[in-house]
Every structure is written in C-alpha cells, then in structure tokens.
Amino acid sequence: MKRYFYLGLGSLAMCVFGLMYNWTVFAGAASVANVFSVCQICFCAGGVLSGFIYYRVRFRASMIAASLMILAGLFLTSRAENVMMIYVCYSVMFSLGAGFAYKALLTSVMTWFNDKPGLASGILVMGAGLTAFVFNVPTSLIIESTGWRTAMTLLAGIAFGLSLLTAIIVQPRGVVKQAGTLEIEEEGQVSTGQMMKSARFYVYFLWSVLVLAGCSSLTGTAVSCGVSFGISATMAATLSMIISLFNSLSRVFYGIIYDKIGRRTAMGIATTLFLTAVAILYCAFTLGSTTLLAVSFIFVGLSFGAVPTISSAYILTTFGKKYYPSNFSVQGTYTLFSPFLGTMLFSALFTATQSYPASYSYLIVYALLAAVLLTALNRLLKPGRENNLSKPQSE
C-alpha cells in the first residue's frame, strides 16, 4: 500500500507544481505580459536540471531545496512592486523550483510502478492537469475579497506545505548508495547519448511536439474562437474548460490503456482523436454550430491528455530505468516548441487572414503528420529494428 500512498500524495503535490496554469487568474491584477511564456521555459529548464542531477543528489535534499524555491518565488511575488520582480520571482524562481520538483517526484514515484508505469504516470500528471479546476475559482474569490497579494501568499503556503510534505515522506524505491545514487541493473539500459542517436526517440519526440502544439493552441485560443461563433465571453470560457476537464481525466485512461494493451494502441487512440477533433472543428466552422464546437473541444481534450502520460511511460519502457531521469528530462523539452508551433503560429496567421478556419489550417497538417509519424514509429519498434538499443518492453 505504500506505493499507492506515494501516488496519491504525489498527485496532490502535482497540483501545486502546476500553479503556473493558475496565472491567468492573476494576469489582470498584476498587469504583466508574457509571464506564462517565461514560466514554460523555466519549468522545462528545472525539469532538465532535475533529470541530470537525480542520481547525484538525494531526493529528499533536492526536494527540500525545490520547496524553498517555490515558497520564496510565490511569497516574493506577493510582495512585488514592479514588473521585473514578478518575472524574476514567479517566472524564474517559482517555475524553476516547480519544474525541478515535478520531474524529481514523478521519477521517484515511477520507481515503485515498474509493473504499471502508464497508470502511475497518468494519475500523477492528472494532478498537474487539474490545477486550474482546483485553484482558479477559490483564487478568484480571494482576489475579489482581499486582493491578489493575499491570494498569492496563501498559495505560497499551500504549495510549500505540500511540497515539503512530499519531500519528507516519499522515497524512491531501490538500494541507496552512500553517494545518494540508486543501484540499478545495467543490462538493457540506454544512456541519454544513445537515446539521442535513436530514430525511435526522434520520431516519438516529433509526434509529441505536433500533438501538444495543436492541442495547446486550441486551448489557448478557445475563448476567442467561441466568441467568433456569436456566444458570450462567459459561455466561451465555460466551453474552453471542457478541454481542460477531458485533458485531465483522459490521462488516467491513457495510462491504463498503455499498461493493459500497449503503446501502439494508446498512441493510435490519441492520434485518431486528434484527427477527429480537427475534422469536427472544421464542420463546426462550416455549419456555424456551437454544439459541434463543444464536441470538438471534447476530442481535443481527450487527445491532449495522451502526450504527458504516454511520454513518461514510453521513455521508461523503451530506454530503461537506469538513465530514466535524464532521458525523460530530455524528452520533456518537447513542451518548449508548443508556444511557437501553436499559439504564436495561430496569432501570425490570424493577423494575416482575420479568419479562424484559415488560421487553424496548420492543425490539418499536424494531424496528418502525427498519423504518419505513428506509422513510422510502429515500424521502428517491430522486433529486429535498431538492435543496438534495448527492445521495447511495452507494445
């Protein structure tokens, strides 16, 4: 039962590690721009750093340090008197600490679930996906009643408490050496350098980039897209929450599918849902149907949840667990591409065309390329391919 306790506590902590998704509630109060974009970059950087020092620094010590960064970042943001301080404290200090803690915790809990990597990763990343649902409404109410500084201070306390509790209680599974590393078998393990020479890494990486960029661009523009159908901003915002809801819930679904049936089926379902989402979206534009728009948002959310869940399980089962912290951190850099290939590309196209259907045209390309990449990866992972690397454990 210990591992399930770790999994439950870890999913709660993931909610506070994903607090950068709560920034939209503060954006109007703090009157700053591009904070979220810088958060994404620093969050990813923190995850990469976590992966490469995971076996050099004990989990508890690194998590305590990350907890202090999270506390300092959020608390100092609540006392910020200028825009630069918000960028330094929230975008850099908090996001680096949160990204570090996110990857360290996920890696440590996954060591307890070699038999169910998909389920474990699905539940953990679902916690991060539910951040907006857990915190947005309460945070908004606090801001309305006492101001954004009080809300940020309370979040600092909650985030620090959960993060520190996780650092104290959760322990990686394995024999810990004096130097703080884990003894893990050598056979069949693929180093980060080897992985980055492998086609099976790059094909999956590109698939992740395209699906995430397509889904996240729809998430970021869902409200304005809904308004273009003639509905109110409030109704459009409600519709946009559909994506977040199904994104979060589908993560556990993909984890179960990955464990029970395999990687091929999990990725196949996600790709099919992404293709379906794009097709229904264009039907909604053609018919001017808000109902079809809502249905397309459901399919977007369902496909969106696949990427983080499958990524953590795929890297573990395909390249082994010895180098998993650094391998998974490198894979996690796919998130850096989504702003450029998603919302920024949409903005450029919309500025040029002033048309939502034309501006979303790249989604058709992404969906078709995702299907091609899935086919290519299925061929690469057949027995006998890339014999210099470990054979995949989950198909």
Query: Residue written as tokens 């649902």?
Result: 133
Note the pLDDT of residue 25.
73
d(CA 162, CA 268) in angstroms, rounded, equals 36
pLDDT reading at 390 higher than 50 = no
Q: What is the pLDDT of residue 178?
A: 29
pLDDT score recorded for residue 174: 67
More confident residue, 369 or 134: 369
Q: Would you say residue 23 has pLDDT above 90?
A: no
Which pLDDT score, from 0 to 100, does residue 85 have?
92
160-178 pLDDT, tens per residue? 999 999 999 998 886 444 2
- pLDDT (average), residues 241-263: 89
CA distance 193 to 212: 25
SS3 state of residue 154: helix
9 has pLDDT over 50: yes
The stretch 334-343 carries a mean pLDDT of 83
pLDDT above 90: percentage of residues in the chain: 49
Q: Return the exposure string of 20-35: e unless at least 16 CB atoms fall within 10 Å of the residue's CB, then b.
A: bbbbebbeeebebeeb
Token pair listed for 259: 């464990």
Distance in angstroms (rounded) separating the CA atoms of residues 31 and 53: 36
Average pLDDT of the residues in 220-242? 81
What pLDDT, on a 0 to 100 scale, did the predictor assign at position 98? 95
Tell me the DSSP string of 237-282: HHHHHHHHHHHHHHHHHHHHHHHHT-HHHHHHHHHHHHHHHHHHHH
Domain locations in the chain as residue ranges:
2-169, 192-380
Length of the chain: 395
Which of 173-177, 178-182, 288-292 bottoms out in mean pLDDT, i.e. has the lowest? 178-182
Position 28 confidence tier, pLDDT thresholds 50, 70, 90: low
Q: Quick check: 186 pLDDT over 90?
A: no
Asked whether residue 62 carries a pLDDT value surpassing 90, the answer given is: yes
When pLDDT is averaged across residues 265-273 and rounded to a whole number, the result is 96
pLDDT at 336: 84
At 257 the pLDDT is: 93
For 192-380, which CATH superfamily applies? MFS general substrate transporter like domains (1.20.1250.20)
Phi, psi dihedrals of residue 329, rounded to the nearest 5°: -65, -40
pLDDT bin (cut points 50, 70, 90) of residue 114 is confident
Q: How big is the CA angle at 3 (ends 52 and 46), to the nearest 5 degrees?
A: 25
pLDDT digits 0-9 by tens, 358-388? 999 999 999 999 999 999 999 998 865 544 4
The mean pLDDT of the chain is 86
For 34, left (φ over 0), alpha (ψ -120 to 50), or beta?
left
- Give the whole-angstrom CA distance, residue 62 versus residue 392: 31
Q: Who wins on pLDDT, 76 or 139?
A: 76
* Cα–Cα distance measured from residue 163 to residue 16, given in angstroms and rounded to the nearest whole number: 8
Q: How confident is the model at residue 343 (pLDDT cuts 50, 70, 90)?
A: confident
CATH superfamily of 2-169: MFS general substrate transporter like domains (1.20.1250.20)
Domains 2-169 and 192-380 in one fold: yes
Asked if residue 392 has pLDDT above 60, the reply is: no
Residue 225, pLDDT score: 86
Q: What is the pLDDT of residues 302-320, one digit of tens each?
A: 999 899 899 988 998 889 8
- How confident is the model at residue 27, as a pLDDT? 66
